[in-house]
Amino acid sequence: MELKQEIKVAVDAIVFGYSNNKLNVLLIKQKYGTFKNQWALVGGFVKDKEALIDAVNRELLEETGIKVNYLEQLYTFGDNINRDPRFHVISVAYFALVNSTKLILKADSDAEDAKWFPINQIPDLAFDHKEILAIALKRLQSKLTYQPVGFDLLPKTFLFSDLENLYCTILETEIDRRNFRKKILSFGIVEETDQFGNNLKGRPAKLFRFNKQKYNKLSKDGIFFEINFA
């Protein structure tokens, strides 16, 4: 049987950041092509003999100038064979959570510009990137209830109120802050430090930190992180 195949493989990166009580996503402005000057997710074609994870890391560095510590494969998009007007393209999407306050963006390669956008102020996106972003957001909201992924969006030390606000922002709902604090502290993976935050309202509050090693040990021992907001 003769196989004739002209499918191209691409990768896209949905990078979430968090600052000033806002969930943000990293977008680039297209420099060339059909979608020139339109915003899009970071991404591009996979090179011959290049691993998918290497391709997405390369695109992030080339188009935005950043490196991320962790990328999780989200979904493969290809049912819509017209998702890219140039070719039949299958895209493997990855998402990452980063402390965006520590990253310096530098647009280059196929990107005219790189910028953080609040999740509720996303412009029209190229290709099917609006759909990809929506699926990534749902995955993040789900993971937040059974894995402590929110700490990846915060600095190493943070106010407990910052953690509360992060959950409220991403889940788009108000939470019972007293019960939330009690539940989080019951796991023993969030530790109070001797440092104080710059609290402009009232007296200074203690800073906290996430003990990842302790979480990994608890997870290995079969004790799972779970936050129920019902």
- Which of 39-48, 172-181, 219-228 bottoms out in mean pLDDT, i.e. has the lowest? 219-228
Q: What is the assigned CATH class of domain 7-143?
A: alpha beta
Q: Which residue has the tokens 């600095």?
A: 155
Rounded distance, CA 152 to CA 213, Å?
A: 14
| pLDDT per residue as tens digits for the range 78-129 | 998 889 888 899 999 999 999 998 899 999 999 999 999 999 999 999 999 9
Domain parsing of the chain, residue ranges: 7-143, 149-220
**pTM assigned to the model:** 0.92
Residue 130's pLDDT band (cuts 50, 70, 90): very high
pLDDT score of 87:
87
CATH topology for the 149-220 domain: Arc Repressor Mutant, subunit A (1.10.10)
What is the tens place of the pLDDT at every residue in 165-211?
A: 999 999 999 889 999 999 999 999 999 999 988 765 667 889 999 99
What gap in Å lies between CA 23 and CA 140, rounded to an integer?
11
Using CA atoms, how far residue 175 sits from 138, 201, 229, in Å, is 18, 21, 7
